[in-house]
Amino acid sequence: MKKINRGGLAAIAILVMLFAGLVNAWSVLSRPIGAEFARYNAGQMSLTYTITMFCFCVGGMSGGWLQKRCSVRFALCLSAAMYAAGFLLTASMQGRAMLYLGFGVLGGLASGLSYNVVLTSVSAWYPEKQGLISGILLMGFGIGSFLVGKIYAAVTPVDGSGAWRGTFRIFALILLVMLLLAALLIRRPKEEEIREAVQKAGKPMVKHYYEDVPTGEMVRRTSFWLFLLWTITMTGVGMTVISQASSIVLETDPGLAQGTVATIVGIQAIFNGLGRVLYGALFDRIGRRRCMLTDVLMYAAGMGLLLAAVKAHQMGLLIPGFVLGGLANGGVPTTIAGFAHLFYGAKYYPTNFSIVNTNLLVASFAGTLAGVIYDASGSYAATILLALGYLAASLILTVLIRDPAGARGENNSN
């Protein structure tokens, strides 16, 4: 077996993750589609993303299942085929059914599948840096939609002309090539390769608390349910703020130009990416409990600044609120990846990780609830208070989660 350079493998994985997260740019990708199909209302268009997120979770769970029965290569080739087919079908759409099937079902399944397979396969090569490597890969997945979305917006007019169809066909080709390339180069390491990599790095391997825990046993543990609730409440904060970010900016300063609003909202995406790396390093260095506590408190500080900004109409408070909120939001997926490996081991990690990620199915409704609360109150201050309520629950859950009796790996038992 040809030896793999870990650094090169990580670089390839980051590049792949940049494009694998393309479906998360739906708010940008959908504007030209909505301009051509003006007969569809906002609810009908937004249903596309709801379907995408549901299928993303299903794709992630399928990735865990496939890795136990098939090769990484097969899973990534399947993802490449579904992604390309989904974007080509969307590019040819004449009605909502094709949009929901192409972008929502096929795109969501492909994104979740590639997300799970790339993250779990490549992170296995870095047992001594589980938090950091997960954070770096997740940064690629997170900022990819932002960067590619910017390019898409620059080259695709929102004029109802259907020019977006050509861009979607180009995306289909890029996704096919990138994921097939990943299929050729990415694989899970053997035990001897892991030991060799750690020895070469000259650092101790980060141990997980439990012996490898099968998924069926994991879901019977109190720690799993407490942590799943933590992920739902923390992700709910992000969904609440991100879904209303532009409107929060305009309530703070109604006179801002749309371009300025988009730039300010983009701060969240940039710092979300940075937060994934920051919290990955923190997870390895200070341990999961302190990392989780830091994330909750940073989020609370960010939401406090946003609340003050809206009430006082002070942009000087809003921007640092978005910075702290973006960093904290980025810390959530990194903590999920680290926790699943730390508490339940590496053997069943692909499946266990995907199960924890089902928090998206529940948390995705937080954005809708935020809109309902705004309609009732007339101010986004109420939605921010809702986010602070989620964080209060997150803080309680952080305290309630206990390390298992006889936990190993003291460097992570803080």
Q: The tokens of 243 are what?
A: 């879904």
Question: Does the residue 1 lie in any domain?
Answer: no
Contact (CB, 8 A) for 230 and 397: yes
Same domain, 63 and 126: yes
Question: Does the residue 245 lie in any domain?
Answer: yes
Question: Does the residue 84 lie in any domain?
Answer: yes
Instruction: Give me the mean pLDDT over the 182-200 stretch.
Output: 78
Question: Does the residue 103 lie in any domain?
Answer: yes
Same domain, 242 and 357: yes
Task: Name residue, tokens 């080739």.
Answer: 77
Ordered DSSP codes for 83-101:
HHHHHHHHHT-SSHHHHII
CA distance 125 to 65: 20
331: CATH = 1.20.1250.20
Q: The tokens of 406 are what?
A: 């006889």
Name the maximum alpha-carbon separation found in the chain.
Answer: 64
Same domain, 25 and 88: yes
Distance of CA 359 to the CA centre of its chain: 11
- Listed residues 173, 201, 229: the one ending a domain: 201
Instruction: Give me the mean pLDDT over the 249-267 stretch.
Output: 78
Least confident of 15-24, 138-147, 318-327, 332-341: 138-147
Tally of domains in the chain: 2
Question: Does the residue 209 lie in any domain?
Answer: no
3 pLDDT higher than 70: no
Contact (CB, 8 A) for 223 and 112: no
Distance of CA 91 to the CA centre of its chain: 25
75 pLDDT higher than 70: yes
User: What's the pLDDT score for residue 401?
Assistant: 93
Same domain, 155 and 289: no
Which residue range is the domain that position 370 belongs to? 215-412
User: What's the pLDDT score for residue 414?
Assistant: 41
Dihedral (C-alpha) 285, 215, 80, 99: value to the nearest 10 degrees?
-110
Same domain, 62 and 16: yes
Same domain, 106 and 227: no
Same domain, 314 and 377: yes
Least confident of 134-138, 175-179, 233-237, 377-381: 377-381
Contact (CB, 8 A) for 72 and 63: no
Same domain, 115 and 233: no
Which one-letter DSSP state was computed for residue 210? S
Tens-digit pLDDT profile for residues 355-411? 988 887 788 777 677 777 877 887 888 889 999 999 999 999 999 998 775 555 444
- Listed residues 151, 170, 201: the one ending a domain: 201
Same domain, 254 and 307: yes
Same domain, 29 and 87: yes
Question: Does the residue 210 lie in any domain?
Answer: no
In this prediction the pTM is 0.77
Same domain, 142 and 262: no
pLDDT tier at 203, thresholds 50, 70, 90:
low
How high does pLDDT run on average in the chain?
84
Same domain, 54 and 164: yes
Q: The tokens of 25 are what?
A: 């740019």
Question: Does the residue 206 lie in any domain?
Answer: no
Question: Does the residue 208 lie in any domain?
Answer: no
Contact (CB, 8 A) for 99 and 46: no
- Listed residues 201, 236, 255: the one ending a domain: 201
pLDDT tier at 42, thresholds 50, 70, 90:
low
Q: Show Cβ contacts of residue 337 under 8 Å, excluding neighbours closer than 6 positions.
A: 119, 123, 130, 131, 134, 138, 353
pLDDT tier at 268, thresholds 50, 70, 90:
confident
Q: What share of the chain is helix, strand, coil (3-state, %, to 5)?
A: 80, 0, 20
